[in-house]
A and B are shown apart, each in its own frame.
Chain A
Amino acid sequence: MRRLLVGIPYLWLLILFLVPFGIVFKISLSDYAVSIPPYTPKLDIGAGWAAFTEFLGALDFENFVFLTSDDLYWKAYVSSLQIALLSTIFTLLVGFPIAYGMARAPEVWRPALLMLVILPFWTSFLIRVYAWIGILSTEGFLNQFLLWIGVIDAPLTLLNTKIAVYIGIVYTYLPFMILPIYSTLERMDESLLEAAEDLGCSRTQAFWLVTLPLARPGIIAGCFLVFIPTLGEFVIPSLLGGSETLMIGKVLWEEFFNNRDWPVASAVAIILLLILIIPIVLFQRNQAKETEG
């Protein structure tokens, strides 16, 4: 029984990660063709061992070599990393005070506050991002409001810029930052702060020396939960960003849809995955260390 329970996550990993990865990896080694599906060779399982070895022989790493021949790809990876990193920092700066405020709020309020954070999930993500178009456009609510209170004289160009992309990402991923930080802060023993103050810490010192280190696991979890999906983000930059916002998700789309080159698109995806494995491994290590401690 115990073995079965342990097996479930592995089965999950096998079906939802390793098998798709294997399929994508296989496609990344094949070549473009005008057919259904649009690549060759195809694996014919019924044709026996000889056909299988022949199939393996037809595979090569040409598509990965191709990715190095054009600077578009690494520029897109670097730009995506940059956007993901900055977005994570912004989300942390906005999310931490909110989580802190929630954890320090009277206990009766907390379920309601938690609900408010989760509530937006009840609406489709797409509609929420779309709403930002209405807010940020030249004739949009934000500009009208700013003009009305007299902060600006002419409407700001916000939509179709990188700023809009950051706003969209921070807004969308904020709950993923707030929830883990809140859960660590909420569990924190407040007597630790009293002890710190008894021992001569000021309020601020106690925050830096006690609260923040204790919130660390939540902060790290939140950062990864924001960073990893943002890196491959496609919807937000394509709706809110201008055409100069270069992200790997967009490049992937173009390879897949405009060039119809599934093999090169798969190679781009495999590299993206390899880039993502680094932070995931770091995260795992950190988790392991936390449990040891």
Chain B
Amino acid sequence: MTQSLTVWTAVAALSASVAVAEEVRVYNWSDYIDEALLEKFEAETGIDLVYDVFDSNEVLETKMLAGGSGYDVVVPSGSFLQRQIEAGAFQALDFGKLSNSGNLWDVIKDRTATYDPGNAYSINYMWGTTGLGVNVGKVQEALGEDAPIGSLSLVFDPANMEKLAGCGVHFLDAPTEIIPAALAYIGEDPNSHDPDVIAKAEPILTAVRPYIQKFHSSEYINALANGDICVAIGWSGDVLQARDRAWEADNGVEVAYNAPSEGALMWFDQMAIPADAPNPEAAHVFLNFIMDAQNMADASNYVYYANGNVASQPLLEEDVIGDPAIYPDEATLENLYTTTPYPARVQRTVTRLWTKIKSGT
């Protein structure tokens, strides 16, 4: 024991010396920041920034639960954050060091408190909805002028899907997003943790499975922009990035995003500091930098996601703050739902159901 103690003291001393070198390691989602902001951070604070990216909550969570990730700031989504807080993965924030925390938006803080009671462990970075990305021209060609591009029946009604299969449909490879959507479609509680209710999603998804080209959580951005596919269930900002890429390429593809009328999942990506972060001091500096109104506005203007920073709103470009697909109006906001983490046993049922739907086994 004493021996391991010596080792740990050595490790601690080593990480302390790293802290003197002032380095902050950030682990964020891919395609999720304007890189100019990263340079600005280094120039303003003199802290070296190591910026790594991931593309799934599962990968991040596995790193967090294994411990010793070496990151100072990570960005899990709400329901994942909640479980990781429960597991003891994060340290409470020191708001004394976060002078910009007054910029945060109460509307979002109220909602994120579901996952992080009192918002003690995290601040909101971006939030968005999960909805329908469509290639308007191709969908109307397949289903007629009055195609239901704002309704889940577009993707869950086999009659529609049969006609859309030819031009390509992608679903997110995320059971915790698609199963709630299927439940919302049939009028069940999307946040249900009851295995019997969750099972009702199976026939809905199995019926349209033959018409789904792929389950993937990032390929649809390019596929939509290039016109390779005509419909995707995807994340709001990603679809809007596809819209922009198509517009820049001037390829005649018109991409639109709609939060479905039956209700859409609202999610929150939260910045938090791991309990074993090597440099929590610098992590706080980074969080404070991100909460600056101008910086947050720059980030949103770049990635087309809404943020939880009310002070940044006057600085947002009109095609961000004025777009109801990014900042939903009151009526749409009413129509959004959130989900909470499944208990382990239910999670297993959900994963198993997902495998069954995808592979037929």
Contact = CB atoms under 8 A, between A and B. Distances in A.
A, B from the same assembly: yes
Interface of A: 32, 34-38, 45-46, 70-72, 75-76, 138-139, 160, 242-246, 251, 254, 256-261
B56 A260 contact: no
Interface of B: 1, 4, 56, 58-59, 61-62, 64-67, 83, 86-89, 173, 175, 213-215, 226, 228, 344, 347-348, 351-352, 354-356, 358-361
Given A36-B66, A245-B359, 8 more contacts: A46-B4, A75-B361, A139-B228, A246-B359, A254-B355, A257-B62, A258-B351, A259-B348
The 8 tightest CB contacts between A and B, nearest first, are A257-B58, A243-B358, A46-B1, A258-B351, A38-B65, A36-B67, A34-B87, A259-B351
A160 B355 contact: no
A243 B67 CA distance: 31
B57 to A, nearest CB: 9
B86 A34 contact: yes
Contacts of A139: 226, 228
B215 A256 contact: no
Given A34-B87, A160-B214, A259-B347, A244 B59 contact: no
Nearest to A262: B65
A256 B62 contact: yes
10 contacts: A32-B344, A35-B87, A36-B64, A36-B88, A37-B65, A37-B67, A72-B356, A256-B62, A258-B351, A261-B348
A179 to B, nearest CB: 34
B213 A36 contact: no
A132 to B, nearest CB: 15
B65 A36 contact: yes
Contacts of A243: 173, 214-215, 358-359
Contact of A261 (B175, B344, B359): B344
B59 A257 contact: yes
A258 B359 contact: no
A254 B361 CA distance: 14
A256 to B, nearest CB: 7
Nearest to B214: A160
Contacts of A38: 65, 87
B334 to A, nearest CB: 31
A160 B358 CA distance: 13
Contact of B61 (A71, A160, A246, A260): A260
Given A34-B87, A36-B87, A36-B89, A260 B358 contact: no
Given A38-B87, A242-B214, A258-B351, A138 B228 contact: yes
A34 B82 CA distance: 11
A248 B67 CA distance: 26
Nearest to A76: B361
Nearest to B350: A258
A80 to B, nearest CB: 13
A185 to B, nearest CB: 41
A253 to B, nearest CB: 9
B88 A37 contact: no
Nearest to B213: A160
A135 B197 CA distance: 43
B231 to A, nearest CB: 16
A70 B352 contact: yes
Nearest to B65: A38
A170 B65 CA distance: 36
A254 B65 contact: no
A37 B58 CA distance: 15
A246 B64 CA distance: 28
B214 A34 contact: no
A32 B344 CA distance: 8
A123 B228 CA distance: 29
A256 B214 CA distance: 22
A139 B223 CA distance: 11
Nearest to A31: B344
A195 to B, nearest CB: 55
Given A36-B66, A36-B89, A254 B351 contact: yes
Contacts of B228: 138-139
B39 to A, nearest CB: 27
Nearest to A157: B213
B249 to A, nearest CB: 14
Contacts of A258: 58, 175, 347, 351, 354
Contacts of A34: 83, 86-87, 344
Given A75-B361, A138-B228, A260 B347 contact: yes
Nearest to B168: A138
B219 to A, nearest CB: 9
A32 B343 CA distance: 11
Contacts of B213: 160
Contacts of B214: 160, 242-243
Contacts of B361: 71-72, 75-76, 246
A160 B229 CA distance: 15
A122 B347 CA distance: 41
A67 B192 CA distance: 27
By CB atoms of chain B within 10 A, which of A37, A38, A46, A246 has the most?
Answer: A38
A244 B344 contact: no
B358 A244 contact: yes
Nearest to A71: B361
Contacts of A71: 361
A45 B3 CA distance: 12
Contacts of B4: 46
Nearest to A46: B1
